[in-house]
Structure 1
């Protein structure tokens, strides 16, 4: 199944409450399949990560806000990092899953900014092993009663953790290294790409995930492969998902042909959006939201 989503305005000056609400409600009206957020806890002084990460709303609170304004569109986070305690995240996601009517897509990442781990009191080392326990514990919290877990990194005494969601949220793992891709195939319900992913070769990453799923006795056809579309509307072609609306639409179709199941357009990662005035940024975003809508395939003309 091919699905198209749109990222909520969560980064920079345009990430205003009225803009978040406008994008959420209009995206659902236009037939988008999903809304997305991402996490950046802090921006260390002296780092050069660019304007995209300088000021970012909390991803789950933002999704909770728009869940009450929408009815059917899926609510995805790409991603929450593993410095958030898994039991706490399990509780938050279970509540959001219940209140939203089962629309949550739970992206989880190992994290890459060491200062965020320092600030939350979590070790930065052995993140791969930590990530495996993380997924196991999330699912235990949603599916077991009582919950009891004894691992290398996490220990939960036999406890009731209720209420349970009627359906556990799908867990999508991030990561680009082969070990991370294979972990997603073995453990997760899918894989979500990073903002710097080379989309020209994404089919190779998908093949690794699918192969690992098959080796683990899982059906790779059930997995979701989600691309964060770092979408930049420009007059000239500048690489995948950068160019005219017609070119961007062609790129989305090519991604689906390579095995991607979900593409969401994320204008938060366009420097021209996050550094523009809130009014200009929202005007450009609304145009993109309308023209790139799933209900408008093949209507791009020669833009």
Structure 2
């Protein structure tokens, strides 16, 4: 009998999910409840009146208020990892072109070692021109920058003494230790055709976000299969706009490995414990799981 689809939880790092006690409660409860992965996303800065269009909502606006607390996902996930022992941890997603790849490689390896090889790196190219401007990083050619940064990080993780020469980053005969405890999978975010071309070209998997049900997942995976026949070892994780346990069989049939629930925990840690237990009861009681 095939293994049931994994279910992840994207609930940490923002608002109540940025509080230490809530992180502990959700992480411990998610591990006990059977969730596969704890996901956390990133924005370094937010602005009150963005001109950039948010690509994951029909109205082009992100639902998270600009004034909300938003943790650095690497730091927040380190706390989640420390509170647990087996559940996976993943960025969903880290905006790779906004960061120096040597620093990210060091952070990823450190977190992977400290978590015992539980880390997955989800990355994206970003959509907020205002955020790139604040960080002093060119918005143009951010996809090419991300691809090169992934290659540079893989070089650092693979080689004891590493050298790399590219358009955006160069280093010669450097050591970046520790190296990861396992081969860290790199999942690429984004739902557009160009995003899926990047998945096919250099990703270990895809994190599709806020998709409009099973039908959109099927359409996007059909396009991805034209680029990577049979999905060729890709790890597929998706978050749906309005998921239901009844979606699980159809998603599994499409080759989805993990359905990620995007939820917001309550402010009170005791209520957060019950909240995650109730989520687990709903999703893991599904027939066939």
Q: Under a length normalisation based on structure 2, what TM-score does the superposition of the two structures give?
A: 0.85
Give RMSD over aligned pairs: 2.5
CA deviation string 1:253-303 (max 9, x = no partner): 3222222111111114xxxx6xxx724984883354232343x2239xxxx
Cα distance change of structure 1 residues 168 and 120 upon mapping to structure 2, 3 Å threshold: farther
- The yes-or-no answer on 1:69 pairing with 2:83 is yes
| Residues 6, 289 of structure 1: 8 Å contact kept | no
- Are 2:266 and 1:224 aligned? no
8 Å CA contact retained: 1:90, 1:142: yes
Q: Secondary structure at the match of 1:18?
A: helix
Q: Are 1:266 and 2:262 an aligned pair?
A: yes
Cα distance in 2 for residues equivalent to 1:228 and 1:53:
22
1:52, 1:225 → 2: CA distance?
29
1:254 equivalent to 2:250? Answer yes
Give deviations 1:78-124, integer Å, cap 9, x for gaps.
10002111111111000111111111110010001112212222111
Residue 236 (structure 1) aligns with: none
Encode CA deviations 1:152-182: one digit per residue, 9 max, x unaligned.
Answer: 1121222111221232210001122212202
Unaligned residue ranges in structure 2 (runs of 5+): 51-60
Do the aligned residues in 2 keep the contact of 1:5 with 1:264 (CA within 8 Å)?
yes
Aligned positions, number: 272
Q: What is the 5 A alignment of 1:1-303?
A: 2-13=5-16, 15-47=18-50, 49-51=62-64, 54-55=67-68, 56-81=70-95, 82-195=97-210, 197-199=211-213, 200-214=215-229, 220-230=231-241, 240-241=242-243, 248-268=244-264, 278-279=267-268, 282=272, 285-286=275-276, 288-294=278-284, 296-298=285-287
User: Is the CA contact 2:236–2:258 (under 8 Å) kept in the aligned structure 1?
Assistant: yes
Q: Secondary structure at the match of 2:228?
A: helix
> CA 1:292–1:229 in structure 2 vs 1: closer, same or farther (change >3 Å)?
farther
Work out the CA distance in 2 between the residues paired with 1:292 and 1:61. Answer: 30
Aligned to 1:245: none
The separation in 1 between residues aligned to 2:66 and 2:123, in whole angstroms, is 18
2: distance between equivalents of 1:259 and 1:53? Answer: 36
**Partner SS, residue 194 of structure 1:** strand
CA shift in 2, pair 1:278/1:69, >3 Å: closer
How many angstroms apart in 2 are the aligned matches of 1:14 and 1:59? 11
Deviations 1:35-54 (A, max 9, x none): 11111222113236333554
Structure 1 Cα separation of the partners of residues 188 and 246 of structure 2: 27
Question: How far off its partner does 1:25 sit?
Answer: 0.5
Aligned to 2:53: none
Contact 2:30-2:276 within 8 A present in 1 as well: no
Structure 1: 4+ residue segments shifted above 6 A: none
Q: Which residue of 1 aligns with 2:55?
A: none
Structure 2 counterpart SS, 1:278: coil
